[in-house]
Amino acid sequence: MHPLLSLTVSGLLALALTLEKDSSLDCVPRKYVPYHNRLIMKHGLRTCGDLSLGDNAHLFREEGVFNYSIMLLREDLNLLVLGAREAVYALDLNDISKKLSSVKWEVTQKQKENCKNKGKDPETECKNYIRILHKMADDKMYVCGTNAFDPECDYMSYADGKLTLEKKAEDGKGKCPFDPFQRYASIMYENYLYSATSMNFLGSEPVLMRSSPVSIRTEFKSSWLHEPNFVAMAQMPESEMSAQGDDDKVYLFFSETAVECDCYNKLVVSRVARVCKGDLGGQRTLQKKWTSFLKARIDCPVLESQLPYIIQDTFRWCGPQQRWKDCLFYAIFTPQSDTSDLSAVCAYRVSEISRVFAEGKYKTPVPVETSFVKWVMYSGDVPVPRPGACIDNEARKAGITQTLDLPDRTLQFIKDRPLMDQAIRPIGDKPVLVRRGPTFTRIIVNQVQATDGEKYYVMFIGTEKGTVLKTVNYDGDTFIIEEVQLFQSEEPINILKFSNITGQIYAGSDYGAAQIPLATCGRSSSCMDCVLARDPYCGWDKDVGKCIFLSDSQSELIQSVKEGDASLCPDAEPFKPMNRSIWPGGNLKLHCHLPSNLAKTTWERDGSPLTPSTRLQLLGDGLLILNASESDAGLYRCLSVERSRADEYTTTVAEYHVGIGPTGSGRGNPITPQAQVGGPSVTGLQIIVGLLVVSLLALLAWNFYNGHLPLPWNCRKQNREQSQDIHIHGDPNSGVAYQDAPRTALAEDKPLVPGTDNGTGNNHHTRGEAAFSAAEESETDGPKVTVPSLQYIDDESEI
Ligand SMILES: *[C@@H]1O[C@H](CO)[C@@H](O)[C@H](O)[C@H]1NC(C)=O
Ligand SMILES: *[C@@H]1O[C@H](CO)[C@@H](O)[C@H](O)[C@H]1NC(C)=O
Ligand SMILES: *[C@@H]1O[C@H](CO)[C@@H](O)[C@H](O)[C@H]1NC(C)=O
Ligand SMILES: *[C@@H]1O[C@H](CO)[C@@H](O)[C@H](O)[C@H]1NC(C)=O
């Protein structure tokens, strides 16, 4: 190869890698737990004895039944009630693979016929998809289904181990969607159903409705709801200890086409809306409609994204005291356009949302030109009582004790102006997590007190690939502890629930339901792995020599979630090397699985580092020796080098005595090399190099085009080099660069050391000169995020 050419190539490579390194968005989960491994563990086929098999995943699915998309936790009955297509199940909350009872709810032939005649697909749309499952005050359950595009609700009870539908056949219009593919939201609050869905066959009449003796709903006006996509609902007991005598609220999260956007194309924005529990509608104006429906834009600013991200799910987190002012909403956002594969999580204070509705300014429509309307901040007089406010002490003092007493002026104002001027901003004005990869679908958040006394929020995020990501943000440093594959096929997680009674997470998809614990600490078999996992639920118990769940232990555990400081770990027992032998000229693979995706492998032979070459190839899962000769004999050691904030730790993962000749176990079976590194012709090389240059230039251009830089999220700088898609190994002799086999996901719970019976790693760590500066790390907070540039006019006076 021409030296100049090779210089150019390596320069470009370096540049490309630097750019890619900046991409903290690719944040690799420290462990990846594949589906089959879990199953193996479940059936106890594992040989490695020190994993606790008891707390592993459980699955439920029934042959021929699909769309497991609604769950009700009946902790009082120790049940998980699971709704699927045409069926409801009662499962054991502690082990959902145990079905206790089930009830079918199928559409009749006549209903199916009707549905088909209206142009719907008889095999998909004309079925009964269970969409609503709530507990009633009398311990019964309220259940609704799409019922072949004719929604229906019913009451269901569980007694003597049996689920029973009462067959009351209540009209489900406005409660449950007609269309099974349409998103909706509902909650049961003080025995009234609050639902957000479309109330007609065409799906053109969206409502937020309360089904009470006097049903209250939204107006059919595009300024109220404009082609909405409902996401979630939550109630908030804001009357508690309220000095103003405020009412409880129901919040609704959704996205809709923006009416206020001063733009040509349709723009979708995320919203939060809320109503007051005690709302009875107006007397003449807004009769049987909400007088307290207010909405605001909710922002999650991702990079310099021009288009606002769209809300997909929210989780209400409240502390153990359940004081509403401490509550948070965590929300998932995905891009508006398909050009990006980022997903984000933002967190919001309920008190902040509440404040915007209680004190913020309104937007008002102002006609400009002939048919065009601009939405601007309203700066005129606001009527009293304040439009959209709940009935409070001040209103009561003025003789207004219910919304029916509200004056027309207040009602007319809110009828025309339900939108707040101010948008809701996330805590810290930026997302808590942004990640490239499988789209996020659902989220739950749990708080845990680690051994350092601090409380951490742990996010469990479902993805469209059937995995759950477990993520913690340690002082702005995003760390993905693990990614667990819950379902065999890559199907979206469409529901996630958490029970603090069982401490289990429940997930649903089209093909089944799954249950996992908050943590499976036993996946770490060494102290080093346990501590570097930085899982706030897990710590190493020196006395029993196991990684265990915090609350299961009375003794002091070794844990260091913020720093990943494993210096307190005891030295592990020395290794018993395995014996391997090969014939001269033969091939041998020495297996070595690292417990972490963030660790790098290095190999030693007889104590000195091994340089990979065409004959000694480093693979993702081991070392390949080709065309062995006498000089290949020796003691091989596979080392895992993992850097945390505290230090760089080196552990021995495997050791092999390799002899030449037919001694030992003789398991040196021939292996065909995977990477073709023979002796390609010079022309071939030049072509490859040329192609490399072109693709690198494309990669660079793509990086810039997509604006992946600069990147404000601090995702383990030291891990970034692990997160590149391309891994390049250079052969110093030939100057040939070739691409490694695709990074294989680490199956961390294979026996780490084949042949060792104690299963503990040998952890002599190298401390000192390469000490990693934690201070430096935490300073790189990155540039500030810019607000999405929606074109708003701030004030009426600007027109
Ligand atoms: C129901 O599950 C099937 C998978 O069998 C899927 O193709 C379909 O889209 C799902 N329907 C809904 C409404 O989610
Ligand atoms: C579950 O949560 C409730 C409300 O936060 C709390 O009172 C209760 O102690 C929790 N139970 C467990 C087992 O943690
Ligand atoms: C490897 O071979 C040596 C003798 O060559 C023997 O002492 C040792 O026990 C063997 N180790 C294993 C794990 O079989
Ligand atoms: C294997 O190595 C020997 C020298 O040790 C060499 O003569 C031979 O050509 C090599 N075979 C292959 C296929 O590279």
- Regarding the beta carbon of 658 and ligand 3, being less than 6 Å apart is answered no
- Regarding the beta carbon of 18 and ligand 4, being less than 6 Å apart is answered no
Cα separation, 375 vs 296, whole angstroms:
13
CA of 614 from ligand 4 middle (Å) equals: 12
Q: How far is CA 309 from the centre of its chain?
A: 16
Which ligand has the minimum distance to the alpha carbon of residue 631? Answer: 4
Q: Strand order of the sheet with strand 622-625?
A: 588-591, 622-625, 616-619
CA of 634 from ligand 2 middle (Å) equals: 58
The one-letter code for the residue type at 308 is P
Cα separation, 586 vs 588, whole angstroms:
7
CA of 776 from ligand 1 middle (Å) equals: 49
CA neighbor of 310 nearest in space, from 348, 357, 257: 257
Residue 51 has pLDDT above 80, yes or no: no
Cα separation, 752 vs 760, whole angstroms:
8
**pLDDT band per the 50, 70, 90 thresholds, residue 619:** confident
- Regarding the beta carbon of 108 and ligand 4, being less than 6 Å apart is answered no
Nearest alpha carbon, ligand 3 atom 13: 578
pLDDT of residue 740: 33
CA of 188 from ligand 2 middle (Å) equals: 20
Q: What is the average pLDDT score of the chain? A: 81
Nearest alpha carbon, ligand 1 atom 10: 67
Q: Which helix (H) or strand (E) holds 396?
A: helix 393-397
Between 134 and 618, the higher pLDDT residue: 134
- Regarding the beta carbon of 128 and ligand 1, being less than 6 Å apart is answered no
Residue 472: how many CB atoms within 10 A of its CB?
22
With the most atoms of ligand 4 within 8 angstroms of its CB, the residue from 583, 627, 629, 672 to mutate is 627
What residue has token string 């269309």? 179
CA of 69 from ligand 4 middle (Å) equals: 60
Nearest alpha carbon, ligand 1 atom 11: 67
Query: Could you report the per-residue pLDDT of 138-157, keeping only the tens digit for each?
Result: 999 999 999 999 999 999 99
- Regarding the beta carbon of 657 and ligand 3, being less than 6 Å apart is answered yes
Cα separation, 646 vs 248, whole angstroms:
47
- Regarding the beta carbon of 679 and ligand 4, being less than 6 Å apart is answered no
Nearest alpha carbon, ligand 2 atom 10: 500
CA of 655 from ligand 3 middle (Å) equals: 12
- Regarding the beta carbon of 67 and ligand 1, being less than 6 Å apart is answered yes
Query: Could you report the per-residue pLDDT of 597-608, keeping only the tens digit for each?
Result: 999 999 999 989
- Regarding the beta carbon of 629 and ligand 4, being less than 6 Å apart is answered yes
pLDDT of residue 70: 97
Which ligand has the minimum distance to the alpha carbon of residue 579? Answer: 3
Which ligand has the minimum distance to the alpha carbon of residue 583? Answer: 4
Residue 689 has pLDDT above 60, yes or no: no
- Regarding the beta carbon of 704 and ligand 1, being less than 6 Å apart is answered no
Which ligand has the minimum distance to the alpha carbon of residue 658? Answer: 3
CA neighbor of 479 nearest in space, from 300, 723, 314: 723
Beta bridge partners of 333: 311, 344
CA of 600 from ligand 3 middle (Å) equals: 28
Atom of ligand 3 nearest to the CA of 576: 13
With the most atoms of ligand 3 within 8 angstroms of its CB, the residue from 575, 581, 657 to mutate is 657
Nearest alpha carbon, ligand 1 atom 3: 510
- Regarding the beta carbon of 729 and ligand 3, being less than 6 Å apart is answered no
Nearest alpha carbon, ligand 4 atom 13: 627
Query: Could you report the per-residue pLDDT of 72-106, keeping only the tens digit for each?
Result: 999 999 999 999 999 999 999 999 999 999 999 99
Reduced to 3 states (helix: H, G, I; strand: E, B; else coil), residue 796 is helix
Nearest alpha carbon, ligand 2 atom 14: 500
* Weakest mean pLDDT among 322-326, 351-355, 423-427, 489-493: 322-326
Residues 30/599, Cβ–Cβ less than 8 Å: no
With the most atoms of ligand 2 within 8 angstroms of its CB, the residue from 323, 497, 500 to mutate is 500
pLDDT of residue 260: 87
Instruction: Give mean pLDDT, residues 532-556.
Output: 91
- Regarding the beta carbon of 627 and ligand 4, being less than 6 Å apart is answered yes
Cα separation, 190 vs 8, whole angstroms:
70
**pLDDT band per the 50, 70, 90 thresholds, residue 504:** very high
Between 263 and 610, the higher pLDDT residue: 610
Nearest alpha carbon, ligand 4 atom 9: 627
Spell out which residues line ligand 2, taking CB within 6 angstroms: 320, 322, 500-501
Atom of ligand 4 nearest to the CA of 584: 5
Cα separation, 664 vs 250, whole angstroms:
72
Percent of the chain past pLDDT 70, that is, above it, reads 77
Nearest alpha carbon, ligand 3 atom 2: 579
Nearest alpha carbon, ligand 3 atom 10: 579
Residue 788 has pLDDT above 70, yes or no: no
pLDDT of residue 149: 96
Query: Could you report the per-residue pLDDT of 279-326, keeping only the tens digit for each?
Result: 999 999 999 999 999 999 999 999 767 789 999 999 999 988 878 999
Helix axes 682-705, 3-22, angle to 10 degrees: 30
Cα separation, 420 vs 388, whole angstroms:
10
Residue 701 has pLDDT above 70, yes or no: no
Residues 39/749, Cβ–Cβ less than 8 Å: no
Query: Could you report the per-residue pLDDT of 624-661, keeping only the tens digit for each?
Result: 999 988 889 999 999 999 999 889 999 898 999 998 87
The one-letter code for the residue type at 648 is E
CA of 96 from ligand 1 middle (Å) equals: 21
Which ligand has the minimum distance to the alpha carbon of residue 581? Answer: 3
Between 71 and 52, the higher pLDDT residue: 71
Instruction: Give mean pLDDT, residues 568-593.
Output: 87
Which ligand has the minimum distance to the alpha carbon of residue 659? Answer: 3
**pLDDT band per the 50, 70, 90 thresholds, residue 584:** confident
Instruction: Give mean pLDDT, residues 251-262.
Output: 92
- Regarding the beta carbon of 576 and ligand 3, being less than 6 Å apart is answered yes
Between 736 and 792, the higher pLDDT residue: 792
Instruction: Give mean pLDDT, residues 38-44.
Output: 40
Predicted TM-score of the model (pTM) = 0.80
Query: Could you report the per-residue pLDDT of 369-407, keeping only the tens digit for each?
Result: 766 788 999 999 999 999 999 999 999 999 999 999 999
Contacts 24+ apart (CB under 8 A), 781-787: 781/476, 781/712, 781/714, 782/710, 782/711, 782/712, 782/713, 782/714, 783/710, 783/712, 784/429, 784/430, 784/712, 785/301, 785/302, 785/303, 785/304, 785/429, 785/430, 785/712, 786/301, 786/304, 787/299, 787/301
What residue has token string 């106890």? 44
